[in-house]
Structure 1
Amino acid sequence: MSRLIIQRLLALLPLMFLVSVLSFSFTSMLPSDPVDLILGEEGSMEQREQMREQLGLNDFVVTRYVNWLGSALQGDLGTSFFNSVKVSEAVTQRLPVTLSLTIVSALISIIVGIPAGIAAALNPGSLIDRLATVGATLGQAIPNFWFGILLAAGFAVTLRWFPATGFTPINVSPWEWLRSITLPAVALGLSTSAALARQVRSAMVGVLQMDYVRAARAQGLSSRRVIIRHALKNALIPVVSVLSFQITILLGGALIIEQVFAINGLGSLAITAVRQQDIPMIQGIVLVMVGFVENGGAKVGHGSGGIIRPRAE
């Protein structure tokens, strides 16, 4: 397992280099001039030239990239064009908010998706199976941001059970943190739980037809023991791989959900940077997000393939 993780981390290096080249190239080709956005129409030509020199925009694009990459390798992702804030500090401040939303959403998807998939697989063709299938289809079809708006309108605005906007850090108040993160996490996690339920059902139906499961039942083992100790172990093997991809989707979806609930995470930081064309901030966020997603996938998706045969009872 450790060897596989190391291999994935080594494979991450050329990917990060490619992402850095593409992100720097694309941001350098933006049509508008950041100096115009910073100074506005009132800036003189002398002020504009001085600002361009200060930001290094007069240098050749390759020189700017080499300088930026050298600083990035030392942990310095640059400084915002608009508020002189270090990109690494801004990302570090916002990242825990996005990660907490992603983690809670993943827990909700697991808690809802796996039992729903198991129940549907154990009762094929029944009402439970049909309800689970319809629920999974609706969960994947409904956009999570629209579902989040419905949750906010019903449970925050009408019933006032949860706050409609904002985020409370867990170190400030665990209870208020839970209240502030519940609605966005449910909106994000239920859509992922739908995909997880479909995968669990498909895997469980296949495993329950295996010879070793029939043999375990023929030995007189209880259905609960056969399902939990034998069938579920093998059914969850492909689910772990799917979950690694779903976490990536959750992380991307969190950036959108943050806008619905006015949460100051990486999503709001990224959108603000794009609107302002804050090039260093955009480059830093893209680099950190890609690195985190790939690194997380290396740790979550390392599960081995193949069937786990039951031991003799």
Structure 2
Amino acid sequence: MSGSSHTPASAVGAHDFAATGRRVFEIEGRGLAAVAARIDGDFSRACALLLACHGRVVCTGMGKSGHVARKIAATLASTGTPAFFVHPGEAGHGDLGMVTDADVVLALSYSGESDEVLQLLPVLKRQGNALVSMTGRPDSTLARAAAVHLDVSVPEEACPLHLAPTASTTASLALGDALAVALLEARGFTADDFARSHPAGALGRRLLLHIADVMHTGDAVPSVRADATVSEALAEISRKMLGMTAVVDGDGRLLGLYTDGDLRRSLDAGIDVRTTPISEVMTRSPRTIGADALAVEAAQLMEAHKIGGLVVVDGDGHVAGALNIHDLLRARVV
């Protein structure tokens, strides 16, 4: 069929795909090294400009540069620098109204001559927006119009036709990451800050959810006195359904723990569950955790010591709550 893109099986079998893949990595690696060597005063000035911005960083670009700009905006926003992406074509038809005079514009165009981006320059200049450009041509129109220009030129593209943006987009993406991380460090951005901007994701749950958010409290906490029998402790375990019970003194301080696993060991030892005091078979000095600890710390503690539950205690050793691995699973911490 005329125009068919089908490749003969013999040609496919003869092609060294792995060699091509390695060559791409080598070319893109050289491109990254070239851009890294140019991180200098211009990079520092761009960071200072973005850090001093009282509005948001508006990222824009066409085609593949637009895809990279969108990702840079997302990375900036999630690491403490308010940012968003504006498509330059849509900006010229009303979306430019989203850009205020307090914003800094980060414009990407490898050629530095993208018509859709250049059409925005007069409006941005009249509005007084500071412009940071990222191009592969320092003498381009976009580079010359910018307050700060970041040179992302690479020795060659990985595409053998030298047509598809490959090494250049990788370099632009890496330089965007470098900007985001430099700003993150300058702001003193913390893991808690990151979690607050990712509350719905797994990272947010791991960084925001505390033991107090998932533990059982009050009457839902299984506990018996030290003079209770093993049989009474088993009844408490069955009622509260956490697979364990705390053993406490008269003031509610933790003395020990008795679990389903302890029951199996007790039965193997041939004890009489109706007459044996729980204090004789409980685990003394069990693993505990505080209510203000992160839920993920409980998961790590359970995994490290091969246990299925934890008693939560306060600073004086009083039992404040309890949780097991199922509570962490329901909270999607593990």
TM-score category, normalised to shorter length: under 0.3
Between 1 and 2, higher relative CO (CA 8 Å, sep ≥ 6) is seen in: 1
Which protein shows a greater Rg? Answer: 2
Q: Which has the higher strand share?
A: 2
